[in-house]
Structure 1
Amino acid sequence: MTEYKTEAQKRTFYKSGAWNKLRQLALDRDNRECQECKREGRVHVDSIKVEGDRKSVELNVHHKYEIEDYPQLALVLDNLTTLCLNCHNKMHGRVFGEQKRKRWDDEMW
């Protein structure tokens, strides 16, 4: 079984034809919509390619069970879900631009 522990191994996997094909199947299955936004009653769809411009990345295909821990599920469609960049970053604990909440709401004297 292939391992995906190092960044080089993951990079090779995410550049593979097998991943790209499965990724497109997941996007099509999920109607190119963020499934987390959809659960929360919001809509976030993929961007549209404009001729002559680079297409902006709006959606990622996320492994529900990460490939470094569950390599046997790396190419299983049911282990994938479509997420917008914001939801994908939240799933991985990468939250940018939000201030940390103060522990106490007491006034400063």
Structure 2
Amino acid sequence: MAEYKTESQKKKFYRTGEWNKLRLEALDRDNHECQQCKREGKVHVDSKKVEGERKTIELNVHHKYEIEHYPQFALVLDNLETVCLNCHNKLHNRVFGEQKKKSWDDEMW
């Protein structure tokens, strides 16, 4: 079984035809909509390709069980979920542009 511990191993995996095919399957299954936004009653769909312009990236296909720790689920459709970039960053605790909440609110003396 392949390992996906290093950045180069992960990049190599995400460039494979097998991953790209499965990724497109997940997007189609999820109707090109962010599933997390949908659960929250919001709608976030994929951008449209405009002729002569580069398509903006709105959606990612997220591994519910990360390939680094669960390589056996790397190519399992049921382990994939379409999410927007914002929700994907939240799922990975990557928060940009806002302060991370302090673990306590005591005043500093």
TM-score, normalising length: structure 1: 0.92
Cα distance, 1:101 vs. partner? Answer: 4.4
Give the unaligned 5+ runs of structure 1: none
Cα distance, 1:74 vs. partner? Answer: 0.2
How does 1:25-104 map onto structure 2 within 5 Å?
Answer: 25-101=25-101, 103-104=104-105
State the alpha-carbon separation in 1 of the partners of residues 78 and 20 from structure 2: 15
Cα distance, 1:105 vs. partner? Answer: 8.6
Cα distance, 1:14 vs. partner? Answer: 0.2
- The CA RMSD measured in Å over matched residues stands at 1.6
Letter in 1 for 2:38: K
Cα distance, 1:104 vs. partner? Answer: 3.5
Q: Secondary structure at the match of 1:49?
A: coil
TM-score, normalising length: structure 2: 0.92
Match of 1:3 in 2: 3
State the alpha-carbon separation in 2 of the partners of residues 52 and 24 from structure 1: 23
Match of 2:16 in 1: 16
Letter in 2 for 1:50: V
Give the unaligned 5+ runs of structure 2: none
